[in-house]
Homo-oligomer: A and B are copies of this chain.
Amino acid sequence: MAATHELSVSKEKSSPKKIHKDLEKELIKDVLGLVETYPRVPITVDCVIFGFDENSLKVLLIRSDLEIYKGKWSLLGDFAKDSEDLDEAAARVLKERTGMDDVYLEQVRTFSTPGRHPGGRVLTVAYCSLLNIAHHQLKILDNEIHWHDFKSLKEKDLAFDHKLILDNCIQWLQKRMMEHPLGINLLPTKFSLRKLQSLYESILDRQMDRRNFRKKFFAMNFLIDTGEMETDVPHRPGKLYKFDFKKYEQNKRRWTGIDF
């Protein structure tokens, strides 16, 4: 079987592997040369880390590293390394900035407006996560990193186009919250229904009926009564529940949404 045949019918398994490999190497060399001629862009990832504490939604921000944005707040971002998947890059950046590990990050959107970065064209891919502040201690505290009340950000100046990115991420988060009970991750293992509701109210930014909220969540059958009660509340204590993650994982495929 000749090499020319190999070229046209590259699937053929009976052909000699050596010739096939040699040809492939040639072709890759061609593609490498081609790719080299195209413009290249620096890529960053930006992590939008949402948390929940004291009845309000928070976002993790740092002081910008750049002199030009001195005093302004910034998302947790950095340049992607060569040959690094951006999912990995986001996880690495988060770890470098906070010391946090095992955080589930999800890609939200890529921002490419020319002029979005003062240092020339820089493309950024936004990643988002939701986590329980109490379960994820900040092990590194450089650049004044800390949790900001989400509502307070309206008055604050953010570096780059990070306000736009945040805006996209909060909308993404609200949509996700309607589709899956992600919010559970923002609460302690045991929580009262009031805490659960105020979590949803904070993120979805609207009030809900206490009784209907309760009914809807119980109907999902993902709440387990721990038998315990709240303590240290200045009123009648409520029952404490935990979330049945196992049951949720088994049923989430059939899940159509929460529909608040």
A133 within 8 A of B: no
A66 within 8 A of B: yes
A28 within 8 A of B: yes
**Residues of chain A whose beta carbon lies under 8 Å from any beta carbon of chain B:** 7-8, 10-11, 24, 27-28, 30-32, 34-36, 38-43, 66-68, 70-71, 79-87, 107, 109-110, 112-114, 117-123, 125, 157
Query: Of B7, B67, B112, B119, which is within 8 A of A32 by CB?
Result: B119
Count copies of this chain in the complex: 2
CB pair B123–A30 under 8 Å, yes or no, is no
CB pair A86–B71 under 8 Å, yes or no, is no
Please, could you name 19 A-B residue pairs with CB atoms under 8 Å apart, sorted by A? A27-B67, A27-B68, A31-B117, A34-B66, A35-B42, A35-B122, A36-B119, A39-B42, A39-B43, A39-B81, A40-B40, A40-B42, A40-B43, A41-B80, A82-B121, A83-B121, A86-B112, A86-B123, A110-B110
Closest to A113 in B: B85
Q: Report B-chain residues with C-beta under 8 Å of the C-beta of A87.
A: 112
